[in-house]
Structure 1
Amino acid sequence: MQIKGSTVLITGANRGIGGEFVRQLQARGAGKIYATARDTDSIHLLGGVEGVEVLGLDITDDDQIEAVAARAVDVDLLINNAGVASGADLLAGDLEVIRREFEINFFGALKMTRAFAPVLGANGGGAVLNVLSAASWFSAPGATSYAASKAAAWSLTDATRVLLAAQGTEVLGLHMALVDTDMTAGIDAPKTHPADVVAAALDGIEQSRTEVLADPITVGLKSGLHLDPAARYGTRPNP
């Protein structure tokens, strides 16, 4: 689909990748942008920008999702960007924290897609973009809960692509390694700029692609999925 003239709804539009989506969509001529976030104060400046409507939305709240879907009936591109990284350990971490991570990273995207699938269908099909992660395919200490939630979201992306094909809705998964945002501020490692990630994602939408790998690390991880896990991780558990 073409970005120019489209009507887009973005979750988690208040900062980082979400804020960059708003900026680049405007630059590419999107007709209207619904910029949503749980805390609308964090995106209040966008309210004065022509073509941008700021909406409060907690994607774990069913009533709020229903209200936003009833309001934004002109959407033809849904960007499921909102996400969290708790750092929780799947075996030793607080289960409530882990559940919260899944509620946002997996169930939030699922609920938004369920709510907007009829809207997209009524508007000609359109597209869904799910912001995923290279952690969909690789788990590491300090991100095991996050990785599990993103792996689930990757499977969700494939499943909804199958289910929405009949109504002409394209579904794109965006994978990337570390991106220079607030979420990764405490990590000393190479990072991709949000502008580069978003540009690749929007190019992917316009090219009707099903998957975008936004950096060389992610490309490498995806290319090794056929290998035995011991080879991919470089370790074996103690006998």
Structure 2
Amino acid sequence: MKIAGSTALVTGANRGLGRHLAAELLARGATVYAGARNPDSVDLPGVTPVRLDITDPASVAAAAELAGGVNLLINNAGIDTRTDLLDGDLDLVRLELETHYIGTLSTIRAFAPVIAGNGGGTILNVLSVLSWVNFPLHGSYGAAKSAEWAMTNALRLQLAERDIRVAGLHVGYLDTDMAATITGPKSDPASIARLAVDGIEADAYEIVADDVSRRVQAGFPGGVAALYPQLS
């Protein structure tokens, strides 16, 4: 789709990758609504802050009514509680699912009629390499992202009938607050935002944005032995 002249809403746009995505869209000529639970925390000039908590149905409905011109939705809002699946607090596991899966789905359900009514457009779900491969430190996060990936695949078929393209962005660790305590290579969120918007403009269904995601994707044919060599 053409970004210049489009109207976009980015969830979780007050910091991290979401803020960079909003900035990149704005630089390319889009009108941008920046969703955040606290709209006062949005400090990017040129965007319209929107109060949006994707786990609150009333908040989602109000945002969809306010941003009625949207033809591009980027579902970026997320959390990582780093909850152990065996011993961790189940309420935190539920919170991850409520955010990444139910919250993202609720936002899509609210905005799909808006986008269709505006002649069609694109939905981008910010996923993760951890939707394809998972490790104990991020057990609940990866499980929720895997569910979001499955939902992305299902909805891209269903929403194609309404001229809405549903894309997924797969990326590893980013140099943001969420990964502040993680050691090892991290991608520049500004660069990933550019790649993501390039993918939207190219009408890509799947945007694999970094080397680690490409390596994991390439390991699929090898099954468990390729994805988890430590089990061999």
With normalisation by structure 1, the TM-score equals: 0.95
Q: Aligned match of 1:174 in 159, 169, 175?
A: 169
Task: Describe the superposition over 1:5-46 as per-residue Cα deviations: whole angstroms up to 9, x where unpaired.
Answer: 10000100010100101111111111x111010122321x33
Match of residue 148, structure 1, among 143, 146, 149? 143
Query: How far 1:236 sits from its partner (Å)?
Result: 2.8
**Which stretch of structure 1 is more off in the superposition, 222-231 or 81-90?**
222-231
- Give the aligned partner of residue 25 of structure 1: 25
2:39 counterpart residue number: 40
CA RMSD of aligned residues (A): 1.1
Q: What amino acid is the match of 2:125?
A: N
Rounded to whole Å, the distance in 1 between the matches of 2:192 and 2:16 is: 11
Asked if 1 retains the 8 angstrom alpha-carbon contact of 2:36 and 2:50, the reply is yes
- 2: CA distance, partners of 1:224 / 1:124: 38
Q: 2:182 corresponds to which residue? A: 187
1:230 is displaced (CA, Å) by: 2.9
* Residue among 66, 71, 75 paired with 2:66: 71
Rounded Cα–Cα distance in structure 1 between residues aligned with 2:194 and 2:66: 28
Instruction: Please name the residue that 1:7 is paired with.
Output: 7
SS of the residue corresponding to residue 157 of structure 2 reads helix
1:171-209 Cα shifts (integer Å, max 9, x gaps): 110000111000001011100000111111100010000
Taking the aligned partners of 2:56 and 2:69, their CA distance within structure 1 comes to 21
Gaps of 5+ in 2: none
Answer yes or no: is 1:222 the counterpart of 2:217: yes
Give the TM-score of the pair, scaled to structure 2.
Answer: 0.97
For residue 145 of structure 1, what is the amino acid of its counterpart?
Answer: S
The one of 86, 108, 115 aligned to 1:91: 86
Deviation of 1:228 after TM superposition, in Å, equals: 2.4
Aligned amino acid, residue 97 of structure 1:
L
Q: What amino acid is aligned across from residue 38 of structure 1 in structure 2? A: R
The whole-number CA distance in structure 2 between the counterparts of 1:174 and 1:22 is 15
Deviation readout 1:72-114 (Å, 9 max, x if unpaired): 1100000000011110011111000000011111111100000
State the AA in 2 paired with 1:15.
R
3-state SS of 1:143 partner: helix
CA-to-aligned-CA distance 1:147-193 (integer Å, 9 cap, x gap): 10000111111111011011110111000011100000101110000
Q: SS where residue 229 of structure 1 aligns? A: helix
How far apart are 1:226 and its partner, in Å? 1.8
What is the aligned length?
A: 232
1:54 aligns with 2:49: yes
Secondary structure of the equivalent of 1:228?
helix
CA distance in 2, matches of 1:88, 1:36: 26
Q: Are 2:199 and 1:200 aligned?
A: no
Shift of 1:235: 2.9
For residue 130 of structure 1, report the CA deviation from its aligned partner: 0.3
Q: Secondary structure at the match of 1:167?
A: coil
Measured against aligned partners, the alpha-carbon deviations of 1:121-150 in whole angstroms (never above 9, x if no partner) come to 011110000000000111112101111000
Query: Is structure 2 residue 226 aligned with structure 1 residue 231?
Result: yes
What's the CA shift for 1:70?
Answer: 1.2
